[in-house]
Amino acid sequence: YGGASVDVNSVGEAIRAADADVVGVQEPEANLAELARVSGMPHYEPSLHLLSRYPILPAERNGIPFAYLEVEPDRVVAIANGHLLCCPYGPNLAAKGKTAEQVEAVESRLRMPEAQRYGRALASLADDGVPTFMTGDFNSPSHLDWTADAVAARDLPYELDWPASQALADAGLRDTYREDHPD
């Protein structure tokens, strides 16, 4: 909720209504501590823009910052909260008439390397037996979005297998929202 003026109380209410255990916040500016307070989240980590019901232990693997959340004594999960490069934004390029190949080339050059770095680091945590999650602003649609069915149902110019989210899926991460909402 970056550059715009934000009602922190409304965001806090939304977090409380969601009954979230952890929230990855994007562009919190100087509002993270206040957001933690109004949302009732007892723990927050400014460097990772995380709010949590559980203690947060910042860490890093292969240059990727993440946190361990202590969900029970001697039991942790890992979470990264990423923010991939924003510009140029692929859907805007498509709307301006760029071809699928041109858009995919930009995505592959800008966001996919970042996503691959996150994917490698998070996959290694999962390989170590740590339940691992990622939240974030990927500044790109999901590879599950611009399918033939979606093109037929919406005003999309073409199918596109968005590289950043595909790189995360290739690393073993799953889109849990899509698993809960397959349509």
Q: What does the pLDDT look like over 59-106, one tens digit per residue?
A: 999 999 999 999 999 999 999 999 999 999 999 999 999 999 999 999
Predicted confidence (pLDDT) per residue in 18-65, tens digit:
999 999 999 998 999 999 999 999 999 999 999 999 999 999 999 999
Determine the pLDDT at residue 4.
Answer: 56
The overall pTM is greater than 0.85: yes
- 58 in the Ramachandran plot: left (φ > 0), alpha (ψ -120 to 50) or beta? beta
HEC sequence for 94-128: HHCCCCHHHHHHHHHHHHHHHHHHHHHHHHHHHHC
Give the pLDDT confidence score for residue 1 in this predicted structure.
38
Dist CA 37 CA 41 (whole Å): 6
Q: CA 3 to CA 49: how far, in whole Å? A: 16
Closest CA to 18 of 135, 112, 172, 146: 135
